[in-house]
Structure 1
Amino acid sequence: SCSRAKDVTMPAKLPVNFFSTRSPVIDLFRGQLDYAEHLRQDSEIVLYFFYAPWCGQSIAAREEIEHVASRLSDQVLFVAVNCWWNQGKCRKQKHFFYFPVIHLYHRSFGPIEYKGPMSAVYIEKFVRRVMTPLLYISSRSKLLDFLSNYEPGVLGYFEFNASPQPPGYLTFFTSALHSLKKDYLGTIRFGVITDKRVAEEISLVHSGSVYLHRHVNTSLIYPNDIMNFTAENICKWALENREMLIRWLRPHGGKSLLLNNELKKGPALLIFIPYNPLAEIHPLLDEITKVALEYHNCNKSQAAEPDLQHLQDSDSPAFDSSVPNAHTKLSETFSITKYPCCNTVVLPQWHSISRTHNVCELCINQTLGVKPNKVHVPHCNFLEIEAALDSFYLQERTFFQVISNTIECSNFLSFYSPFSYYTACCRTVNRHFLSFISSEKTIFQTPKVAFSSHGKKDNTQHSIPHIEDRNWFIPDLHISGTNITGLSCRTNKTLNLYLLDSNLFWIYAERLGASRSNHLKEFAAIVDLKEEVHYVLDQNQSLVGSTLENFIKNFSILYSPLKRHLVDDPSLHFHEQRVITEVTTHTFHDTVFLSEK
């Protein structure tokens, strides 16, 4: 009877070749894991491609792997293993939750799992990183190239003159491989300095020292006295202290909380650009990262990239505010870094200081901080003066002299930077505006200078560039109400900056409002999840640094002029009869209010 019938199952078909027999990839389609391990013994770099023959993603990645193998098969051994065949050792020993899986080995170190996009250029880039985890820096120009990259950089200094493998070098080499294990996007770059004079440029003196380069915050030297010098510790230290000015987002295409978790952190600027990881130069990316660097450069008293500046111009002297009486004539070569930034301020009637003085000369001074590199003063800008005025009015500094011809000076610390302080020198002039104008140039020429008890003596007689004169010295600097420099710290609408490769993720750009006729595949949008709004950069403008700056500035100001973007797909406008009508922003009024139903 039917109840006694046994279950009959068809045995699995014997596996067949997944890759072509002419392919440079060795295909172990019966899941021979032991033979795969044997092959690894004789090769320096091995890539394992674990697949399931029925899996659509494995089939799609097959062509990409073959493309990479055709380019690197002379340096890397490519082995594909069928991990689905139930009689094979791979299925019995490995328990993967998804396919395909890519593992790389550098000699005995591994496995390093690749979790990036299954695209040939990305896979090849990762394989090349595993092949050469360290960049060797033997000259100043190579050091400058390394430091100017937007990705975080870790540099080790080792003297190879004494021995072919100096102490600590192998540990540092292994730490670079460890970082690829934890950071599969390869955002931290590792380099080795082999020349003592080059190492001194970044204050590395002892062989075995490790340096973490950061663009905005102070760069760090590995604390050997606190942490043991192990590969895991160096990698952990670099990952914890790295500076992420701008992040790449690479959704894997399946269900994921990646975008949700990032957008929950606050307003996000998503920038879509076509990206080839194998290209040697990325001009658009360089421009975007320059904007990101300026945006995050909150310590306005220190110019961005000070170490790069002094590498490029080693002859420029470091600014020293301990010599305030330095006189330099304007006829000589002018250097903005030798002068503080000053402006003349007419005090309002309500201010307490105006009872005794009505005109002040407000200057921004620079002190030399304890830094591993030289400190440079940035160009004088309107925001510096604005911040000084705010601090000055809030401090309500009261000067002791009654109405007289003396000038009284006072110093007070900056609220924003420990390396800056403001100097205010005030006096009384004729209340009549016309005589103020006629005497403007002689206001501060009186020799009588009085100092308040909390102030330091400062000489105000030498020529100082005023804020309104800065275009004469710096023709490229334009006056504007908002400056991108340090804007992330001066607004409550701080943006997180993200990059996406439009070659892979253009569908996300289209969902955000990108035009389908956009052949350049360049797009930028700001998404504010909390306010439930998003803004799109005008697609008639090219995506360059200046337009991106204006987009960020327009979002950051209190009453933003940006227009909220409403998602609406014109291709969805059908006139056929439907049971359920889809409502968009354009059809809402007609459908809901004017419809008879």
Structure 2
Amino acid sequence: SCSRAKDVTMPAKLPVNFFSTRSPVIDLFRGQLDYADHLRQDSEIALYFFYAPWCGQSIAAREEIEHVASRLSDQVLFVAINCWWNQGKCRKQKHFFYFPVIHLYHRSFGPIEYKGPMSAVYIEKFVRRVMTPLLYISSRSKLLDFLSNYEPGVLGYFEFNASPQPPGYLTFFTSALHSLKKDYLGTIRFGVITDKHVAEEISLVHSGSVYLHRHVNTSLIYPNDIMNYTAENICKWALENREMLIRWLRPHGGKSLLLNNELKKGPALLIFVPYNPLAEIQPLLDEITKVALEYHNCNKSQASEPDLQHLRDSDSPAFDSSVPDTRMKLAETFSITKYPCCNTVVLPQWHSISRTHNVCELCINQTLGVKPNTVNVPHCNFFEIEAALDSFYLQEHTFFQIVSNTIECSNFLSFYSPFSYYTACCRTVNRHFLSFIGSEKTIFQTPKVAFSSHGKKDKSDIQNSIPHIEDRNCFIPDLHISGTNITGLSCRTNKTLNLYLLDSNLFWIYAERLGASRSTHLKEFAAIVDLKEEVHYVLDQNQSLVGPTLENFIKNFSILYSPLKRYLVDDASVHLRAQRVITEVTTSTFHDIVLSSEKNVLLLYYGQWCGFCASVNHVFIQLAWLLPPDNFTVARIDITRNDLPWEFMTDRLPTILFFPYQR
């Protein structure tokens, strides 16, 4: 080229301090990552705040980090690192896709990334959990306080008399830090029992034993004989077997898929409460926790939990057809409530056994290769029930009858495998049982039913037996649970709710979208969202959010014909003007303007985010000027802010519907 012009590259400006020089946060604005690691060697707990000086979220989080540092700077090292400066080591060694990023280190363990809200109280709560990952329990009262918490808890028993660090203690300590690394919300609490007598309260005898507490399901002890005693395995075992009665939701933003993934699991009760993570006493949260425990407590009481565990651990009885006493014991004890691995089957009319019986309880027999001579009721696997049902229906000719005076059992060959057998015990249930369906006692308890043997063919028994599923003339009364208490309600209805908590201080915008009042000062709100039915219900905001109110709200949703009315979101900010070319429609005015109008109505469905709607809008305005106002009403509705009955909704925008007069 003949040009004398040269390429000129303007060097980047040198970075400046992001934090004040008087701040307790050490600001490495040139990205000196190696110097940060040098400072961390002298501190037990260190927090790294990686930022980009141009990032708005980093600027917003700066004040929150300074607030936490002002409270914990004497115990925690706070270091801020500019990871955007292109000549700094942080930019060369770290490859972050977003800012800010918070990493915590506990001595040599780390990094533990914090992914929660960028709020001072939440960050401080997480830092304190890293500082003290274990709670030390030395008395029975502290143990009860630990177990009464709604969050799942893992307890380890270690004897500190012989050594300040007994075998397995460091592994358990590291597992608590691993749980924070994988579960940044910190929903699992870890504790250490230091007293032998306190450990015996939860059946921990040997030092190094680990116990996972669960409120409703059976609590577990870490299986040392199956899994290696490592920090990763303990953390994985606790996360896989934890019991989540009520969950905290912290969506990342307006486009977060977290709510969508949770709502797909089934009907959800969303409870918005103001939450302070640092407060030691949460009265409202404790009351909500009691409701959740009662709702999921299908065993009626916590006292029955050891008995149920004993039933699960006890050996299943073997019944011999040649012993009459054993056969009588089978009729008295064989029940789906005692053997939850069995499945109750109503026989179809074409099945050969249906001539004498109409109900069978199907279990899996774990004998292999040889047809068993006795009928066992073993601890079977739920995943094989479907295969057992197919074999039960398809291979009825392989039945091997064992007849008793009260109940009739059979062993039959598996349809899928020639080396395994299943067990079926059949009986006849009288029609008199139907008269008790309306009462709560017989619905949720095993009734005393009459059994018929194989040899009896009494016509009265056949007429009084429950008809088969295929019989269209059969009428079974509806299941009404109104008037009952909430204990175990999740197991007594097909409309089981998933319970979620949201902090109204952070996510009140979601509550307003569901129907919460924008003018209220008390940010407490509850709503039930059923994504499958495309409806949601709102708890009356004139009622205080307390335990009895929540219980009634849940019970009214759970009954078959719910008295709750679907809530339709209405944009109350729209004010209609007298002279306007296009009429703005809301949920409350839809019936009067569109359905009850004495004119032809042309309605445009639009959304503020819809680009195509904006391009169609000027055409729609010109059309409104051309149509005679005496015969036509041109209107539009923002479908993102107003709910309509499902028959008038649309799944694409923009959409134009014409509602003719006298249609």
Give the alignment's TM-score, normalised by structure 1.
0.72
Shift of 1:517: 2.3
Residue aligned with 2:290, SS: helix
- Structure 1: gaps (5+ residues): none
Shift of 1:574: 3.6
Write the distance in 2 (CA, Å) between the matches of 1:44 and 1:496. 40
Judged with a 3 Å threshold, the aligned counterparts in structure 2 of structure 1 residues 399 and 140 are, in CA distance, closer, same or farther, namely farther
Write the distance in 2 (CA, Å) between the matches of 1:83 and 1:365. 62
Judged with a 3 Å threshold, the aligned counterparts in structure 2 of structure 1 residues 23 and 243 are, in CA distance, closer, same or farther, namely same
Shift of 1:86: 1.1
Shift of 1:186: 0.2
More displaced 10-residue stretch of structure 1: 33-42 or 435-444 = 435-444
Render the CA deviation track for 1:399-427: whole Å, top value 9, x for unaligned: 99999999999999999999999999999
Contact 1:297 1:485 in 2 (8 A): yes
Render the CA deviation track for 1:352-396: whole Å, top value 9, x for unaligned: 999999999999999999999999999999999999999999999
Shift of 1:265: 0.9
Write the distance in 2 (CA, Å) between the matches of 1:248 and 1:448. 43
Shift of 1:464: 31
Judged with a 3 Å threshold, the aligned counterparts in structure 2 of structure 1 residues 483 and 86 are, in CA distance, closer, same or farther, namely same
Write the distance in 1 (CA, Å) between the matches of 2:142 and 2:586. 55
Contact 1:409 1:449 in 2 (8 A): no
Judged with a 3 Å threshold, the aligned counterparts in structure 2 of structure 1 residues 36 and 430 are, in CA distance, closer, same or farther, namely closer
Shift of 1:518: 1.9
- CA RMSD after TM alignment: 10.1
Contact 1:130 1:177 in 2 (8 A): yes
Write the distance in 2 (CA, Å) between the matches of 1:444 and 1:15. 70
Which residue matches 1:164? 164
Shift of 1:587: 2.2
Give the alignment's TM-score, normalised by structure 2.
0.65
Residue aligned with 1:156, SS: strand
Write the distance in 2 (CA, Å) between the matches of 1:371 and 1:218. 34
Judged with a 3 Å threshold, the aligned counterparts in structure 2 of structure 1 residues 281 and 591 are, in CA distance, closer, same or farther, namely same
Shift of 1:348: 26
Contact 2:246 2:500 in 1 (8 A): yes
Judged with a 3 Å threshold, the aligned counterparts in structure 2 of structure 1 residues 175 and 380 are, in CA distance, closer, same or farther, namely closer
Judged with a 3 Å threshold, the aligned counterparts in structure 2 of structure 1 residues 417 and 514 are, in CA distance, closer, same or farther, namely farther
Shift of 1:88: 1.0
Shift of 1:65: 0.5
More displaced 10-residue stretch of structure 1: 472-481 or 261-270 = 472-481
Render the CA deviation track for 1:195-237: whole Å, top value 9, x for unaligned: 1000000000000000000000000000000000000000000
Write the distance in 2 (CA, Å) between the matches of 1:20 and 1:111. 26
Write the distance in 2 (CA, Å) between the matches of 1:142 and 1:319. 47
Shift of 1:162: 1.4
Shift of 1:585: 1.2
Shift of 1:92: 1.2
Judged with a 3 Å threshold, the aligned counterparts in structure 2 of structure 1 residues 596 and 197 are, in CA distance, closer, same or farther, namely same
Judged with a 3 Å threshold, the aligned counterparts in structure 2 of structure 1 residues 413 and 143 are, in CA distance, closer, same or farther, namely farther
Residue aligned with 1:421, SS: strand
Shift of 1:490: 1.4
Shift of 1:85: 1.0
Which residue matches 2:93? 93
Contact 1:405 1:448 in 2 (8 A): no
Shift of 1:256: 1.7
Judged with a 3 Å threshold, the aligned counterparts in structure 2 of structure 1 residues 254 and 58 are, in CA distance, closer, same or farther, namely farther
Render the CA deviation track for 1:252-306: whole Å, top value 9, x for unaligned: 2263210111111111100000000100011111110111111111233755887
Shift of 1:74: 0.5
Which residue matches 2:20? 20
Contact 2:371 2:411 in 1 (8 A): no
Judged with a 3 Å threshold, the aligned counterparts in structure 2 of structure 1 residues 540 and 243 are, in CA distance, closer, same or farther, namely same
Judged with a 3 Å threshold, the aligned counterparts in structure 2 of structure 1 residues 392 and 442 are, in CA distance, closer, same or farther, namely farther
Q: Percent identity, please.
A: 94
Shift of 1:541: 0.4
Shift of 1:240: 0.0
Shift of 1:315: 29
Judged with a 3 Å threshold, the aligned counterparts in structure 2 of structure 1 residues 156 and 360 are, in CA distance, closer, same or farther, namely closer
Shift of 1:12: 2.2
More displaced 10-residue stretch of structure 1: 181-190 or 512-521 = 512-521
Contact 1:409 1:457 in 2 (8 A): no
Residue aligned with 2:583, SS: coil
Shift of 1:589: 3.1
Residue aligned with 2:176, SS: helix
Judged with a 3 Å threshold, the aligned counterparts in structure 2 of structure 1 residues 409 and 440 are, in CA distance, closer, same or farther, namely farther
Write the distance in 2 (CA, Å) between the matches of 1:533 and 1:438. 28
Contact 2:317 2:377 in 1 (8 A): no
More displaced 10-residue stretch of structure 1: 250-259 or 507-516 = 250-259
Contact 1:408 1:450 in 2 (8 A): no
Shift of 1:485: 1.2
Contact 1:343 1:466 in 2 (8 A): no
Shift of 1:10: 3.9
Residue aligned with 1:308, SS: helix
Contact 1:336 1:379 in 2 (8 A): no
Shift of 1:110: 0.1
- Bigger RCO of structures 1 and 2 (CA < 8 A, at least 6 apart): 1
Contact 1:306 1:373 in 2 (8 A): no
- Structure 2: gaps (5+ residues): 600-663
